[in-house]
Structure formats: structure tokens, C-alpha cells
Amino acid sequence: MSDEELKALEKEVKKAKRIANEAASVLHDLIEDKLPDAYGELMGVAQATYDACKAWDEANKKFLAASSETA
């Protein structure tokens, strides 16, 4: 894998992590500030957070595997 491809994967991981952190922040704010009144939002926000974290995990695993191949 070329250095450019590896840098692109690293950028993808950073972007996925930022998105996951933003989703976690929304979940935190919901729990901290809106529950129990906004309980109807909980499943959707939790699923979005889970999906974002899973996307980060998959991107990170792909990057780590590519990194170990070039090392």
C-alpha cells in the first residue's frame, strides 16, 4: 500500500472518530439534559451513536491492518 493510500485511510479513521465523538456527545446531552421527558428519542440517538462507533472501529481496523503490512 502506498503512503498516499495509508494517509487516506488515516484521514478516514480521524473523520470517523470525530463523527463518533459527535454522536456520543448528542447521546450524552440527551441523557444529561432531556431525560426522562425525551425518552422517545433515546433509541434513535443510541443507534446512531452505535453505528458511528462501529464505523470508526471498522475504519481503524482497516488502517491498522494496512499499517502493519507496510511496516
Q: Using the predicted structure, report yes or no on whether residue 1 has a pLDDT greater than 90.
A: no
List, for residues 11-49, the tens digit of each pLDDT value: 999 999 999 999 999 999 999 999 999 999 999 999 999
Q: Which residues contact 33 (CB under 8 A, 6 or more apart)?
A: none
- Judged on CB neighbours under 10 Å (0-12, 13-18, 19+), 57 is middle
Determine the structural domain holding residue 61 and report its residue range. Answer: 3-69
Q: Using the predicted structure, report yes or no on whether residue 71 has a pLDDT greater than 80.
A: no
CA-atom Rg of the chain in angstroms: 16
Domain harbouring 56, CATH code: 1.10.287
Domains in the chain, number:
1
Which pLDDT belongs to residue 70? 79
